[in-house]
Structure 1
Amino acid sequence: MKKITKIEYQKNNKDRVNIYLDDKFEFGIDLYIMIKYSLSKNMELDDEFISEILVEEDKAKAYNYAISVLSRSPKSEKELRTKIIQKGYDIDIANIIIDKLKVNKYIDDEDYSDRFIHDKINISKYGKRKIKDALYNKGIDRQIIDEKLSLISMDDEISRAYVLGEKKLKSMINIESSKKYVKLSSFLVSRGFEYETVRKVVSKLLSTDFYSCE
């Protein structure tokens, strides 16, 4: 057994305290942990109780780290779990933190997917295939991905691909007509549009381009 001989507030953070056991500094913890376990001077602690306190401290640190990550940019559940583990916390603590954040609505893969799709369509101008691959790599459930992307109509895809293709075609003035189809198709495929969408758009663009040159 070890006895708490001193508890002091940390100089640079009044929300944390230093715990001294048998007149030696032992560890620093969040103030709420001290209150949760009713720690006080002259209280005796066994090794098991100390371990429990330190695990709780790791949870508090991991939670605060996760909040700081989310404050900088939204993350999927998988992305955030990976960051917590890379920070040095074990997977059990990472899972506990993720569950707590989900309950508190700080992470929500459905909401994250909605925002991601909106940005990639309106800002990055991605096609559905590229968006689908990106969401899958972020650990989003396939069912969520399919449900969200099903809301994007073929007409919308074709319209966006056409605008991108039209802009690209204007930069291909000095390229031989026979090569335009391949280059334009490759460009739209790289932007994530499905092959059937690309075929329709490129055929229409080159048909228009042909007549505009006469």
Structure 2
Amino acid sequence: MATLTRITTQKKNKNRYNIYLDHGHGEDYGFSVDADVLVEYRLQKGMELDDATIRALIQTDTLHKSYTQAINYLSYRMRSEKEIRQYLDDKEVEPEHVDEIVKRLREEKLIDDQEFANSLVRTRVMTSSKGPLLVKKELIEKGVRGSEAEEALAYFPYDQQLEKATKFAEKKMKSGVKKSRRQQIQNVQQTLMQKGFSGDVIQEALSQLPKEEEDNSEWEAVVYQGEKLVRKYERKAEGYERKQKIKAALYRKGFPFDLIDRFLDEYTEE
């Protein structure tokens, strides 16, 4: 048995207390506990503590500290159960304590994978250019079940997907005016697929792209790319051979033959 001789407040953490014990050979530092544990066990000077009680106090305090860490981790944003477990594992929390903490957090409604998924989808809709397939992938990686992810995607309806995809496509087209329209379209399609939009949404978004001044911008792009090719082949080929090389290069870039021929007529010499 040990006698509790003194309780002092830690200097750097006013919510933690140092417990001093006398095992019959004078006072020594025993262990420290959080304020909640101090109150729960009603620790006070003069108490007699056996070894089993001391071990229980230390275990309870360790569990409490880990729970507090989890609460702090949750204070920044919602977390999935998998994220909480990974965080506690990284902190080297004992597996049985991890299970107990997760159970308590669930009971207190502090972790709920469905609510987490719903919130993440709403956030991505508002703040990112990701499509639903990429958002679902992110949810799965965070440990959300497929059925929960699907339910959460109800917060990303088709009309919002189309609006987001169309806005991105329009912006992408404006940034690629020096390329052929066909090449621009291919780039937009590829990027939207990488961002997680479905084929139906992509095709609908492309169909809504503005078509005014299309011919003029395409001609400007042909001239821009064509002049670069003229300079490239200026010393490498002459006459017909040079024209054919330029023609083939422009075709590979997605320009139509009528604009290619027009460029060759207006900007090259035999």
Q: TM-score range by the shorter chain?
A: 0.7 to 0.9
Cα distance in 2 for residues equivalent to 1:7 and 1:147: 52
Structure 2 Cα separation of the partners of residues 29 and 183 of structure 1:
60
Aligned to 1:193: 197
In structure 2, C-alpha distance between the alignment counterparts of 1:38 and 1:104, rounded to whole Å: 25
CA contact (8 A) 2:10 2:17 kept: yes
Q: Deviations over 1:85-111 (max 9, x none)?
A: 212212221222222222222222222
RMSD: 2.0
CA distance in 2, matches of 1:156, 1:40: 61
Structure 1 unaligned spans of 5+ = none
- The reply to whether residue 25 of structure 1 matches residue 26 of structure 2 is no
For 1:123, the equivalent position in structure 2 comes to: 127
Distance 1:122 1:17 in 2: 45
* CA distance, structure 2, for counterparts of residue 12 and residue 152 of structure 1: 47
Describe how 1:145-164 pairs up with structure 2 within 5 A. Answer: 145-164=149-168
The alpha-carbon deviation at position 63 of structure 1 amounts to 1.8
Cα deviation digits, residues 158-208 of structure 1 (max 9, x gap): 222111111111111011233223211111112211233223333553xx4
Question: Structure 1 155/8 Cα, relative in aligned 2: closer, same or farther at 3 Å?
Answer: closer
Give deviations 1:52-88, integer Å, cap 9, x for gaps: 1111101211122122212222222211221122122
Contact 2:118 2:153 in 1 (8 A): no
Describe the superposition over 1:13-39 as per-residue Cα deviations: whole angstroms up to 9, x where unpaired. 332211112211021101221222232
CA deviation digits over 1:84-143, x for unaligned, max 9?
221221222122222222222222222222221111112102111011001111111222
Q: Report the 3-state secondary structure (helix = DSSP H, G, I; strand = E; otherwise coil) of the residue aligned with 2:15.
A: strand
1:70-85, aligned counterparts within 5 Å? 70-85=74-89
Higher relative contact order (CA 8 A, sep 6+): 1
TM-score when normalising by structure 1 = 0.88
- The 5 A counterparts of 1:80-95 are 80-95=84-99
Q: Which runs of 4+ in 1 moved over 6 A?
A: none
Alignment of 1:159-174 (within 5 A): 159-174=163-178
The aligned residue for residue 9 of structure 1 is 9
1:164 alignment partner, SS class: helix
* 1:49 corresponds to which of 37, 49, 53: 53
Supply the distance in 2 between the matched residues of 1:32 and 1:149 (Cα, whole angstroms): 41
Match of 2:230 in 1: none
The structure with more radius of gyration: 2
Q: List runs of 5+ in structure 2 lacking aligned partners.
A: 216-270
TM-score (norm 2): 0.71
| Counterpart position of 1:136 | 140
Q: Percent identity?
A: 29
